Structure 1
Amino acid sequence: MTSSPARSASPACAWRRFTAQPLVAQPLPWLLLLAALLRTIAAFQPGFHHPDAIYQYLEPAHRILTGDGAVTWEWRVGMRSWLLPMLLMPPMALGEALGPAGPWPVALPRLAMGAASLSIVWSAWRLGCRRSPYAGLLAGFVAASWFECVYFGVQTLAEPAATAAFLPAAVLVTAARPTRRGAAIAGALLTFAVLMRPHYAPAAATLVLAGCWPWRAERVAWRNWGALIGGALTMAAIGAGIDIANGARPFAWIVENVRQNIVSGVAARYGVSPPLTYLTWLLQIWIVWAIPLVIGLRFGWRACPPLLAAAAVTIAVHMLIGHKEYRFIYLAVVTIVILSAIGWSDIVEAAVARWGERTRPRLRLAVVAAWGIASLLLAFGPLAQAHRRQGGPGSRVFALLRDDPRTCGVALVYGTSYADIPGTAALRPGTPIGLFWFADPAAPGATPWQSVARHQAGFNRIVSSVPRTGSPPPGYRTIRCEPASDVIGMCLYARPGGCTATQGSPFRLNRVLARMGF
């Protein structure tokens, strides 16, 4: 097989030829350490990017672990996989074992997601090393520290999990000398990515077809293809087994997902955006840094053309889908950033060739610093900050509730929604949540606050919105208020005494969710 420039088996990462300094002689451990430190800090920050992080993944994991957890309409109709909740259950169990107080049951699953995202740092380093030692260092540094990689890396969502599997699969598929073992691992990783986010299936197919095409010239090609398919089938069997273990038909959730969101158009009720929305969002988040990103991509795409093709397919597929969310194209975002960083290493080398060898250290350091500064500045951009503040007030209020052993029941009163809080997983096990919503058939003609006053025996804590939609019943005092900004604010009210008649309340969270179709 003739190797392309992107696949060249270069001694690029023989760093001791380049310098004797330990930090750059063996950069990967330091890059992973930096990434782990930043993701650990992010994992313990209050908030969550989207309610799906709680109600599609953490709450099902909590139901497996404790038998208690919110059941949203997606789970009632059977359009979600049990794979990610099952993977999040062990760190959640460890979090519960650490004690009844503290952030552990939510923070440790986020920390596990952050640990999984280290595979992206390894992948970036390997892709960069195909070009030069410096490209490996720069790409690894960007993957470790770029604000979107850190923020999304700890979110308990399908897209970061899929991307953490997709990137190393791309490295293995496009290796200069592919092996059967590497092909088998790549097949398993790509299947895992598709099980996490079925919408990434076209991207996975693109990567395989473009990346494995050179295998045709190898005598071992059929063995590699067999290993790739074998790895994929093994992961598919694991996914099917998890479905069966949780009482679901294997992969029926994919069919139901298509039926609900595409055939019935249910996703459209959460908003429909024009096709170019993703490009608009990228410009809003990256601002002026979009220009250097595109310049770097112009040179860096050669490091892994099949991966760039998969990213382009990801954006194209999601542009055709009416309901759009920024996280849906996370795979493409990470790919663009990494390949752009590799491109900038080529730009540095071109500048050195023109201006002289003496400029090399300064240029290299300047480019690394520029990426770090850009990441820090863009993290405080308007849209990036809005993402980061999502779920913050609810997470801080629920942290107080978990730390308070006197809490025996919590009432959510409109305009606080279940989507604004981190769910039962953030409370002590067995703490019921009540939801008092407007136009609830269980309380005809009554406002949410009137229903609260009539049924307050079932709870001794109230969480409501800022600005207020009403006043708590007599006997409640204000514990804390989180002011409103670009996300809803919240107030926590408490009364002395315990709770009665909790189990039979028609306002228990799951009963209201089913009754209201949430």
Structure 2
Amino acid sequence: MNSKLKLNTLLCSILILLALLLRVGCALAFPNIFWADEIFQTQEPAHRLAFGHGIITWEFRDGIRSWIFPALLAAIMRLTAWLGDGSTGYVTGVNIFLSLLSLTTIVVAFLWGYRTGGLLTAVITAGICSVWYEFVYFAPKAFNEVVATHLFLPGVYLGVHGKWFQPRTRLFLAGCLCGCALGLRIQLITAVAVALLYICWHKDWQERTITMMAGIIGPLLIFGLVDAFTWSYPFQSFWKHFWINIIENRSHIYGVSPWYEYFVFMLKSWSFFIVPIALLAIIGSFQSPILAWLAIAVILIHSLPAHKEYRFIYTALPLILMLAGLGTSQVVKFWLLKWRSHQAKFVAVSLCLILWASTSAVLAGRFNLYTELSWQMLWNNRGWTHWNAESGNLQALQKLSQEKTVCGVGLWGIHWALSGGYTYLHQDVPMFLMDNNKEFETQKQNFNYLVANIPIQQPGYSSQHCWGNTCIYQREGDCQPVRSDRINQVIQQTGG
């Protein structure tokens, strides 16, 4: 191994380690819920596979979700349960696994930057992706679109730049990764089509297309076969998801937004920094236009449905930030034309990364997409952020997962979708939902622990532990026996 390769490997490894520490550290320090799907569409069914009990949502009653991702998470849960008592072990294990998977973004950013502009560009581009707060926040989230992104990006890189394998092998692997991404998030089909067109636009386009399509179709067939065995027919989760959410407009229940909503989301998230980020990304697009086309494809296809969520376009975010990294390196190189010494380059890159890290820290401290867009919101948005959303609920149930005396848990004023479910409670005991004294009186004999996000004054209950507004209350005595899956009956009756 020559000295140049050693230096590249060392710098890339440092950035990977930094990224991993940030992702795992923040996941453990700031437990939160961005959207209920990160638990109840992935981890909760995984918990049911791994340990035999969990909340069943309408998506898994109607068969519009694939079991492949939950099955993978179930295996991780079983393998890492030993890391801690109750749910602590496997929750940590899932966070570490997903954070490790997210490191593909750092590797791709480094390699893409190196291919585009050399070591300086590689360090800047990968450095930005290592510290950017949205990547740190979403990395340990069990969202299909996030995991799909972490497979799609290396697939695109292999197709465009990868030189480690023979062309056929490289294109087949690129297709497999893109096919896995499609299986997890079929809405990426336009981005995959753009990547396929770009990669195969060559004199031997027929052979390239056949090879890459074979790679794409393989994983999709596996998804289809799993649907056939776990549901009623092949590709049921794809077809029913489209029919129920798009044709029958079930997704409209969760919100309807105008076509430009994703621009509003990015404006809320990036504030006035959206201007320099956009300008730098435009500069970078002259070096790697395919990244820009892919980002546009992702945003455009997701702008068509009425229901929009920021996480849906997560795939576009690393593409945009990689472009911004390429643009930043161009600016740095322009100012370094007069100073060619290694010391000057080191200082320039260090200042550049410090500036990006500081920007990331500032934006992380105001990360809140649920506030109405206003000038005041853009200028000053302190207080509640996504980093602490529903944190008390998760910590309370995780605490109860380690209690040996739990025979039932009541949730007062806490929606089941924001509770953490059995993923965090873990114990095979019934849960009960209530919002008022009447509901409490009719169910109080069925549980001996109560989790509430408002102060509770009930005879026989004493406060045990609080996290912000969420507290655990305990009463002495046993519980009246009730089936532990009763909460599923309640959720089914309400259509949840």
1:123 corresponds to 2:70:
no
Among residues 478, 488, 491, which one is paired with 1:510 in the alignment?
A: 488
1:85 corresponds in structure 2 to: 70
SS at match of 1:403: coil
1:127–1:304: 8 Å Cα contact kept in structure 2?
no
SS at match of 1:455: helix
Judged with a 3 Å threshold, the aligned counterparts in structure 2 of structure 1 residues 16 and 98 are, in CA distance, closer, same or farther, namely: closer
2:429–2:484: 8 Å Cα contact kept in structure 1?
no
1:271 corresponds to 2:271:
no
Between the aligned partners of 1:377 and 1:63, the Cα distance in structure 2 is 39
1:6 corresponds in structure 2 to: none
2:189 corresponds in structure 1 to: 201
Question: What is the deviation of 1:481?
Answer: 3.6
Question: What is the deviation of 1:336?
Answer: 0.3
Between the aligned partners of 2:451 and 2:238, the Cα distance in structure 1 is 36
What does 1:44-63 align with in structure 2 at a 5 Å threshold? 44=28, 45-63=30-48
2:225–2:234: 8 Å Cα contact kept in structure 1?
yes
1:460 corresponds to 2:440:
no
What does 1:104-503 align with in structure 2 at a 5 Å threshold? 104-130=89-115, 131-175=117-161, 179-213=167-201, 215=202, 217-218=203-204, 221-353=205-337, 355-358=338-341, 359-383=344-368, 386-413=385-412, 415-436=413-434, 448-466=436-454, 471=456, 473-483=458-468, 489-503=469-483
1:143–1:149: 8 Å Cα contact kept in structure 2?
yes
Question: What is the deviation of 1:95?
Answer: 3.3
Between the aligned partners of 1:15 and 1:433, the Cα distance in structure 2 is 60
Judged with a 3 Å threshold, the aligned counterparts in structure 2 of structure 1 residues 100 and 366 are, in CA distance, closer, same or farther, namely: closer
Deviations 1:72-99 (A, max 9, x none): 1111111111121011111211233445
Judged with a 3 Å threshold, the aligned counterparts in structure 2 of structure 1 residues 244 and 100 are, in CA distance, closer, same or farther, namely: farther
Between the aligned partners of 1:503 and 1:124, the Cα distance in structure 2 is 51
Question: What is the deviation of 1:240?
Answer: 2.5
SS at match of 2:315: helix
2:133–2:361: 8 Å Cα contact kept in structure 1?
yes
1:285–1:383: 8 Å Cα contact kept in structure 2?
yes
1:60–1:70: 8 Å Cα contact kept in structure 2?
yes
Q: Which moved more, 1:388-397 or 1:336-345?
A: 388-397
Deviations 1:77-131 (A, max 9, x none): 1111112101111121123344543512222112211111111111111110112
Matched residue type, 1:61 = A
Question: What is the deviation of 1:68?
Answer: 0.6
Matched residue type, 2:475 = R
Judged with a 3 Å threshold, the aligned counterparts in structure 2 of structure 1 residues 14 and 293 are, in CA distance, closer, same or farther, namely: farther
Question: What is the deviation of 1:200?
Answer: 1.2
SS at match of 1:411: strand
Matched residue type, 1:257 = H
2:158–2:171: 8 Å Cα contact kept in structure 1?
yes
Between the aligned partners of 1:49 and 1:168, the Cα distance in structure 2 is 26
Matched residue type, 1:432 = P
Between the aligned partners of 2:200 and 2:26, the Cα distance in structure 1 is 36
2:381 corresponds in structure 1 to: none
Between the aligned partners of 1:180 and 1:504, the Cα distance in structure 2 is 53
Judged with a 3 Å threshold, the aligned counterparts in structure 2 of structure 1 residues 369 and 196 are, in CA distance, closer, same or farther, namely: same
TM-score by length of 1: 0.87
What does 1:4-19 align with in structure 2 at a 5 Å threshold? 16=4
Judged with a 3 Å threshold, the aligned counterparts in structure 2 of structure 1 residues 127 and 14 are, in CA distance, closer, same or farther, namely: farther
1:117–1:164: 8 Å Cα contact kept in structure 2?
yes
Deviations 1:37-70 (A, max 9, x none): 1122123232122110110000110111122111
Question: What is the deviation of 1:23?
Answer: 6.1
Question: What is the deviation of 1:303?
Answer: 4.1
Root mean square deviation, CA, Å: 2.3
2:224–2:234: 8 Å Cα contact kept in structure 1?
yes
SS at match of 1:26: helix
Between the aligned partners of 1:128 and 1:504, the Cα distance in structure 2 is 53
Between the aligned partners of 1:88 and 1:176, the Cα distance in structure 2 is 29
Structure 2, unpaired ranges of 5+: 370-383
Between the aligned partners of 1:147 and 1:246, the Cα distance in structure 2 is 37
Question: What is the deviation of 1:245?
Answer: 4.1
Matched residue type, 1:514 = Q
Between the aligned partners of 1:292 and 1:257, the Cα distance in structure 2 is 38
1:207–1:307: 8 Å Cα contact kept in structure 2?
no
1:135–1:345: 8 Å Cα contact kept in structure 2?
yes
TM-score by length of 2: 0.90
Q: Which moved more, 1:402-411 or 1:237-246?
A: 237-246
1:96 corresponds in structure 2 to: 81
Deviations 1:419-450 (A, max 9, x none): 2211102123312212236xxxxxxxxxx432
Between the aligned partners of 2:55 and 2:112, the Cα distance in structure 1 is 42
Judged with a 3 Å threshold, the aligned counterparts in structure 2 of structure 1 residues 367 and 377 are, in CA distance, closer, same or farther, namely: same
Q: Which moved more, 1:38-47 or 1:63-72?
A: 38-47
